[in-house]
């Protein structure tokens, strides 16, 4: 089950109370104050993990509470600190404060750790208040309460390239041909109901191997940015991609004769989402050329030439053009990584983990 949104409630541990005590011991006159401090409450800590790729574990366990600190004791004994709670989230998770709507943190690298709610400080015992002029203090402090927050978690996949296009244009079949991903494939729209990730490896004995991550984004339709079809549920997963691979169905069975209109509808949805998705580098793909309509293919070539877009005709069923497209994607991703080396480092561990799973 792929869950990319969750709302959780976290409560850090309260601090323990300071102790009010005096030393009472035989042959020790005027023992003085001996109340110890309370222990600190446990923190709520979040850590990004490559072993997690969904937020499903938060959907069914929405509340987390850390242990409170123990109270101080006599004989100047400080209370034990509360145990921390560690929450692991997938790389790519963004944490928002539900009340203030502010972004708390973006876990864009593996093994990032952040204290999301701090435990309360322990109260001081009466031994802390002793002075030369106030030798028998009865003052002591209660522990401070731990932070309590409602957080909204949003997962945005980390991928180098994203496959976009109308439903049933061949995205799932393509990712199954170029990687080890095995998404559901069928001849009806909206077969893909959740994003699929695949690692594509390019290279041979004469060329060093180069790998990159591809995301198969569920099909878009007109009005997706307002909630039509699968709506905006998966549009945000394109935000982190470097490259968009736009598949256009040029077969005579799509029921949409105007390829230019198909492209403009998808581009309009990317534009309307509001995250500058339409400005990302793009490669056009003429899908299903094994059963192509010559007029639609010619129209797509004209559109690509007019808009200075690279176009690659492929058939994911027969394998025609798959190799050329794969190398073109690798070359473009490599160029984009070189332009932003820091972001490239963020994806290195993700690629390795996905390659092991593949």
Per-residue H/E/C for 230-288: CHHHCHHHHCCCCEEEEEEECECCCCCCCHHHHHHHHHHHHHHHCCCHHHCCEEEEEEC
**How confident is the model at residue 231, as a pLDDT?**
45
**Helix, strand, coil % in the chain, rounded to nearest 5:** 25, 25, 45
Identify the band that residue 233 occupies on the pLDDT scale cut at 50, 70 and 90.
low
pTM of the model: 0.69
Query: CB of 147 within 8 A of CB of 9?
Result: no
Please count the CA atoms within 13 angstroms of the CA of 17 that sit on its side-chain side: 6
Note the pLDDT of residue 252: 80
Nearest to 33 by CA among 126, 132, 139: 126
Q: Which CATH superfamily is domain 161-357 in?
A: P-loop containing nucleotide triphosphate hydrolases (3.40.50.300)
Whether the predicted pLDDT of 187 surpasses 60: no
44-49 and 85-90 beta bridge pairing: parallel
Tell me what the mean pLDDT of segment 253-259 comes to.
77
What's the whole-number mean pLDDT along residues 138-167?
91
More confident residue, 273 or 87: 87
Averaged pLDDT for residues 103-132: 95
- How much is the pLDDT for 303? 92
Q: What is the mean pLDDT of residues 165-178?
A: 85
CATH 2.70.210.12 fits 5-155, yes or no: yes
Q: Summarize the confidence of residues 232-257 as an average pLDDT.
A: 80
- Percent of the chain whose predicted confidence (pLDDT) is above 70: 84
């Amino acid at each position: 089950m792929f869950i990319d949104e969750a709302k959780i409630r976290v409560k850090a541990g309260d601090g323990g109370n300071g102790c009010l005590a005096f030393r009472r011991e035989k042959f020790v006159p005027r023992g003085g104050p001996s109340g110890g401090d309370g222990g600190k409450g446990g923190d709520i800590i979040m850590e990004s993990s490559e072993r997690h790729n969904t937020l499903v574990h938060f959907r069914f366990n929405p509340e987390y509470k850390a242990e409170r600190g123990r109270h101080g004791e006599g004989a100047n004994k400080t209370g034990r600190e509360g145990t921390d709670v560690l929450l692991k989230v997938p790389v790519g998770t963004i944490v928002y404060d539900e009340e203030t709507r502010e972004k708390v943190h973006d876990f864009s690298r593996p093994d990032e750790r952040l204290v999301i709610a701090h435990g309360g400080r322990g109260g001081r015992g009466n031994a802390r208040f002793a002075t030369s002029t106030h030798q028998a203090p009865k003052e002591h402090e209660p522990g401070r309460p731990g932070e309590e927050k409602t957080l909204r978690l949003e997962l945005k996949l980390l991928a180098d390239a994203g496959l976009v296009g109308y439903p049933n244009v061949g995205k799932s079949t393509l990712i199954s041909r170029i990687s080890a991903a095995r998404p559901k494939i069928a001849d009806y729209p909206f077969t893909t109901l959740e994003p699929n990730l695949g690692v594509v490896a390019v290279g041979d004995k004469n060329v060093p191997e180069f790998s990159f991550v591809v995301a198969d984004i569920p099909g878009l339709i007109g009005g997706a940015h307002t909630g039509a079809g699968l709506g905006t549920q998966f549009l945000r997963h394109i935000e982190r991609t470097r490259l968009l691979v736009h598949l256009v169905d040029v077969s005579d069975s799509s029921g949409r004769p105007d390829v230019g209109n198909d492209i403009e509808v998808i581009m309009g949805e990317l534009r309307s989402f509001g995250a500058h998705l339409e400005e990302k580098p793009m490669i056009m793909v003429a899908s299903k050329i094994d059963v192509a309509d010559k007029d639609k293919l010619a129209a797509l070539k004209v559109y690509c030439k007019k808009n200075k877009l690279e176009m690659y005709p492929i058939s994911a069923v027969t394998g025609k053009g798959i190799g050329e497209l794969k190398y073109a994607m690798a070359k473009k991703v490599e160029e984009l990584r070189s332009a932003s080396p820091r972001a490239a480092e963020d994806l290195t561990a993700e690629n390795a983990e996905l390659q092991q799973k593949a």
